[in-house]
Structure 1
Amino acid sequence: MVSCITKSPQEEHTPKLDLGNIQTPLIFNPSMLNLQATIPNQFIWPDDEKPCTEAPELDVPLIDLQNFLSASSSPSATLEASRLISEACSKHGFFLVVNHGISEELISDAHECMARFYDMPPSEKQKVHRKPGESCGYASSFTGRFSTKLPWKETLSFRFCDDKNSPNTVQDYFCDALGHEFLPLGKVYQEYCEEMSSLSLKIMELLGLSLGVSRDYFREFFEENDSIMRLNYYPPCQKPDLTLGTGPHCDPTSLTILHQDHVNGLQVFVDNQWRSISPNPKAFVVNIGDTFMALSNNIYKSCLHRAVVNSQSERKSLAFFLCPKKDRVVKPPRELLDSNTPRRYPDFTWSMLLEFTQKHYRADMNTLQAFSDWLTKKPIK
């Protein structure tokens, strides 16, 4: 794990990003790399972080949203859903939602469009190359950002704004960055993100109820959200026991809504053991991120998780990361504070935490604490 603390007293409170000595970035071409006798050292993870061969299944609550989302939702259905969420979020922050109201056709289209993008030649994908310090764009294994413990994956990340003044953020991104012929992809992901945003706000209602604050509190906090959508592609790897698709980390964002394809890969660290969450085409995997952990004053947990790869099958997933409006101050509601429950984290905005993770610190299990320490010991300009 990357540490925020060094041995030098002068640098004690300077956050660290694992940049190493990046001069000529390695080109991530899995087809070529799989022809070699072994994978390059940059992709080999330390022994204590290498993937386990078998991870037992995590018992994840399955929350049926049908009654909650209906116009005539019963109080008992809402109470049961919030109880299950509270139970999961107090322990590991992961749960599944079914009967969520998102059409199977839209989900299928989103997966098909992702396949179309990743089937393009590298030179075409590089047109939307993710620049250092930025959170959006195409990245091939983050080879230009890190020098060690490289993830075996490609990602395309783009911004979604729930803002009436910018109604087509996603659609415009695809057309402006890739060309007007990508308008169909832009339309699919615009609609998908709008549906994810709407679903996120409904889940926020349940989270508010489960914490004993008003049903509308967190929903209103995340209206006009400035979120991130990410398309994850994990190619087959000849040495899946040596590398990881995504390293162990907690999401710095607020809420993640993930749809997996049919290939296993997601693992969560619970009770000192890695456990898997198998794909369920009818369900979304939802998990709490660091920003919501701060909003809940540490009552709800963001949990360490990772993605493993295999030697036979490629794997894809759709991840929507709910984030507040960038200038909105993240602090817990008064109902979660009293004389016996002090504040766990200082006030911050999402833009500050986002910049911290992009420019100063490689996200891990300690991101929020490292960020909090950094804020309280370094003047905020």
Structure 2
Amino acid sequence: MELLCNAPPHASVPERYIFPPEKRAAMELDGVDGPDDGVTLPVVDLHRAALSGDEGLRQRVAAEIVRAGKEFGFFQVVNHGVDKDLVRGFRDAAAEFFTMPAEKKLPYCSNDQSKPFRLATSTTYDRGETRYWLDYLKLQCHPVSDELVQLWPNEPTSFRPRLTEFSEAVHELAQTLMRLIAEGLGLSAGFFAGDFSGGETQMNVNYYPPCPDPRLTLGLLPHCDRHLLTVLSQGDVAGLQARHNGRWLLVRPVPGAFVINFGHQMEIITNGALASVEHRAVTNSAVTRMSVATLIMPKMECRIGPAPEMVDEATNRAKFREFVFSEFMEAYYTASASREDVLESFMIHEN
């Protein structure tokens, strides 16, 4: 497997990574700034007090999250309770993994999506022959067990303990966010607990080496997430873009923040109130960028459809049919992660 992280710096972009002009990101300043008209994502202060007994503050934070979600589908959170040293510890360990000699990483290279830990490059989705400018780790990260940890690499030596700590802390943050989202929508606090969020939590660690000409490439294809909720550590290097009002909005890094976005399952369960928004990654020529996305998944046998509380037969009929999550996963891969194509399979059309 030909990994970017194994190759010496490229003087020019290899032909297989060059996208046709109509698919490129129209970037300025080496792919770091884009046509976002100065719009920035909302930053929600979780106020650790909101997680305790201050009911009024909790309600205000919940309402702010839902308001941000309805407008953008993305927001950032600060004062979230995940220690910055814990975040830095895992990010450093993951970055060290990518920079290890090629022969040490070779045993983990695989395109077999059933593996609970694997290293690969470009993308598994078929959008043509052009390759995306990234390497990535895909791994199962929660619930943590001795058997699971043994599947993770033992080099660097810090990888296993740092991933365990990071996974546990981010999982707790995700549970907090789902409770606040539920309350902000007028649902019971535990609405998203159980099967909706009880699947095996996945993690994508995306590694984007410097690209000699970011104008020609993309780091990650435009897509929407297939699951319920994403908690992303994007570090201090910009590159994530989200669709907003028909244009691409650069998600500018906020120190210590996590970026939160909704997956297709959240859109379907809330009957469109909280939409899954298309996003992509662009490259830059100056520095390596690495993002760590934790993906909260339903159980494969979970039945999903619009929550009765989010449907009104007179004014807001159900927009989606009920299905089993495993059926959605199959449709998602068949549609190569295309938002329109995958949702078309589950939408209810009025006669």
TM over 0.5: yes
User: Does the 8 Å contact 2:331/2:345 carry over to 1?
Assistant: yes
Structure 1 match to 2:287: 313
C-alpha distance in 1 between matches for 2:201 and 2:329: 11
Q: 2:80 aligns with which of 95, 100, 107?
A: 100
The count of residues paired between Structure 1 and Structure 2 equals 340
C-alpha distance in 2 between matches for 1:86 and 1:222: 18
Report the alpha carbon displacement of residue 146 of structure 1 after superposing the two structures with TM.
6.3
Asked if 1:173 is matched to 2:151, the reply is: yes
CA deviations on 1:227-255 (whole Å, 9 max, x unpaired) are: 11111100011120011111111111111
3-state secondary structure, aligned to 1:130: coil
Q: Cα gap change, 1:29/1:105 in structure 2, threshold over 3 Å: closer, same or farther?
A: closer
Q: Cα gap change, 1:35/1:97 in structure 2, threshold over 3 Å: closer, same or farther?
A: closer
C-alpha distance in 1 between matches for 2:125 and 2:264: 25
3-state secondary structure, aligned to 2:238: coil
Q: Cα gap change, 1:132/1:346 in structure 2, threshold over 3 Å: closer, same or farther?
A: farther
Q: Cα gap change, 1:135/1:119 in structure 2, threshold over 3 Å: closer, same or farther?
A: same
Asked if 1:205 is matched to 2:183, the reply is: no
Of stretches 204-213 and 119-128 in structure 1, the one that deviates more from structure 2 is 119-128
Q: Which amino acid aligns with 1:98?
A: V
Structure 2 match to 1:20: none
3-state secondary structure, aligned to 1:325: coil
Report the alpha carbon displacement of residue 169 of structure 1 after superposing the two structures with TM.
5.8
3-state secondary structure, aligned to 1:158: strand
C-alpha distance in 2 between matches for 1:268 and 1:148: 24
Structure 1 match to 2:120: 139
C-alpha distance in 2 between matches for 1:306 and 1:237: 16
Q: TM-score, normalised by structure 2?
A: 0.87
Structure 2 match to 1:284: 258
Superposed, 1:52-71 pairs within 5 Å as 52-53=26-27, 54-55=33-34, 56=36, 57-71=38-52
C-alpha distance in 1 between matches for 2:230 and 2:151: 21
Report the alpha carbon displacement of residue 170 of structure 1 after superposing the two structures with TM.
4.4
Asked if 1:151 is matched to 2:132, the reply is: yes
C-alpha distance in 2 between matches for 1:127 and 1:147: 27
C-alpha distance in 1 between matches for 2:194 and 2:313: 26
Structure 2 match to 1:120: 100
Report the alpha carbon displacement of residue 221 of structure 1 after superposing the two structures with TM.
4.4
Q: TM-score, normalised by structure 1?
A: 0.81
Q: Cα gap change, 1:332/1:250 in structure 2, threshold over 3 Å: closer, same or farther?
A: same
Asked if 1:334 is matched to 2:308, the reply is: yes
C-alpha distance in 2 between matches for 1:223 and 1:289: 12
CA deviations on 1:18-39 (whole Å, 9 max, x unpaired) are: xxxxxxx8x3436758545442
Q: 1:188 aligns with which of 153, 158, 162?
A: 162
User: Does the 8 Å contact 2:3/2:120 carry over to 1?
Assistant: no
Q: Which amino acid aligns with 1:97?
A: V
Q: Cα gap change, 1:120/1:212 in structure 2, threshold over 3 Å: closer, same or farther?
A: same
C-alpha distance in 1 between matches for 2:43 and 2:176: 16
Q: 1:345 aligns with which of 320, 325, 348?
A: 320
3-state secondary structure, aligned to 2:265: helix
3-state secondary structure, aligned to 1:366: helix
Structure 2 match to 1:253: 227
3-state secondary structure, aligned to 2:92: helix
User: Does the 8 Å contact 1:33/1:39 carry over to 2?
Assistant: no
User: Does the 8 Å contact 1:61/1:84 carry over to 2?
Assistant: no
Report the alpha carbon displacement of residue 149 of structure 1 after superposing the two structures with TM.
3.3
3-state secondary structure, aligned to 1:372: coil
> Percentage identity across aligned positions?
26
C-alpha distance in 2 between matches for 1:51 and 1:370: 26
Structure 1 match to 2:57: 77
Q: Which amino acid aligns with 1:108?
A: R
Report the alpha carbon displacement of residue 361 of structure 1 after superposing the two structures with TM.
2.7
- What CA RMSD, in Å, does the superposition of the two structures yield over aligned residues? 2.6
Structure 1 match to 2:332: 357
Structure 1 match to 2:30: none
Q: Cα gap change, 1:279/1:168 in structure 2, threshold over 3 Å: closer, same or farther?
A: farther
Report the alpha carbon displacement of residue 168 of structure 1 after superposing the two structures with TM.
4.1
Of stretches 112-121 and 134-143 in structure 1, the one that deviates more from structure 2 is 134-143
Instruction: Give 5+ residue unaligned stretches, structure 1.
Output: 1-24, 377-381
C-alpha distance in 1 between matches for 2:109 and 2:26: 32
User: Does the 8 Å contact 1:91/1:301 carry over to 2?
Assistant: no
User: Does the 8 Å contact 2:134/2:206 carry over to 1?
Assistant: yes
Report the alpha carbon displacement of residue 281 of structure 1 after superposing the two structures with TM.
2.6
Q: Cα gap change, 1:357/1:103 in structure 2, threshold over 3 Å: closer, same or farther?
A: same
Report the alpha carbon displacement of residue 195 of structure 1 after superposing the two structures with TM.
1.4
User: Does the 8 Å contact 1:133/1:355 carry over to 2?
Assistant: no
Q: Cα gap change, 1:288/1:370 in structure 2, threshold over 3 Å: closer, same or farther?
A: same
Q: Which amino acid aligns with 1:140?
A: T
Of stretches 187-196 and 226-235 in structure 1, the one that deviates more from structure 2 is 187-196
Instruction: Give 5+ residue unaligned stretches, structure 2.
Output: 28-32
CA deviations on 1:193-242 (whole Å, 9 max, x unpaired) are: 12111111111111111211111111344453321111110001112001
